[in-house]
Amino acid sequence: MSHDHDHDNELDPFAARVRALETILTQKGLIDPAAIDVIVDTYETKIGPRNGARVVAKAWSDPAYAEWLKRDATAAIASLSYTGRQGEHMQAVFNTKDTHNLVVCTLCSCYPWSVLGLPPVWYKAPPYRSRAVIDPRGVLEEFGLTLPADKKIRVWDSTAELRYLVVPMRPEGTEGWSEERLAELVSRDAMIGTGLAQRPEIEGQPA
């Protein structure tokens, strides 16, 4: 495509192909352009890692909920109205003092959309997909997370049918906190396993 003069308007080839598909599929009655806009808006603004953070905070606060989440994450998460569109099953994997969990999709980019929104760029990129399984400790170090040598790292490879949510360990010094306040400590990366839950800032005390 030449860029040596001003165009009135130009669609790049990918944009033109997407419009072409949309036109053809709309003509066949397979999609409705208004519904497409709703889906885009939902994923851009309404679904995101705050959903997952609420699941984690509830599990930290409510042992019965944590037990349910462990046993049947799909139902426990659906009870908070976060349901997957692809009919996928969810499994919650809990970090412990002995084991750290890390989620990847080596096949493509399966991800628990209903609780984390859409995946970050690095999750979909070849280096993470190929190395998380082979060298999880090295990968975590690149994320700035150095785990003790005796801590086991368990890597979970997502599929179209089964997606994982990491439940990080609850930080010390958060006794009596509300679920809302706890949820603020839970980052997206902590629920993928490339980070930990944030520690509370303690005023006037040495770190």
Partner 1 sequence: MSRRDSDMADLPPDTPVFAEPWQAEAFAMTVALHDKGVFSWSEWADALSAQVKKPGAATDGHDYYEHWLAALESLLASKGLAARADVDAMAEAWERAAHATPHGKPILLENDPGP
Report the catalytic residues. 105, 108-110
CA distances from 89 to 46, 84, 85, 120, 191 (A): 21, 8, 11, 21, 16
Q: How far is the CB of 45 from partner 1 (least distance, A)?
A: 11
Q: Which helix (H) or strand (E) holds 35?
A: helix 33-41
DSSP character at residue 46: I
Q: Which helix (H) or strand (E) holds 15?
A: helix 13-27
List interacting residues with partner 1 (CB under 8 A).
7-25, 28, 30-32, 35-37, 39-40, 43-44, 85-88, 107-110, 117-122, 124-128, 131, 138-139, 141-143, 159-161
Q: How far is the CB of 176 from partner 1 (least distance, A)?
A: 32
By beta-carbon proximity to partner 1, the closer residue of 39 and 75 is 39
Report the C-alpha dihedral over residues 141, 145, 146, 151, rounded to 10 degrees. Answer: -110
By beta-carbon proximity to partner 1, the closer residue of 66 and 90 is 90
Q: How far is the CB of 32 from partner 1 (least distance, A)?
A: 8
By beta-carbon proximity to partner 1, the closer residue of 75 and 108 is 108
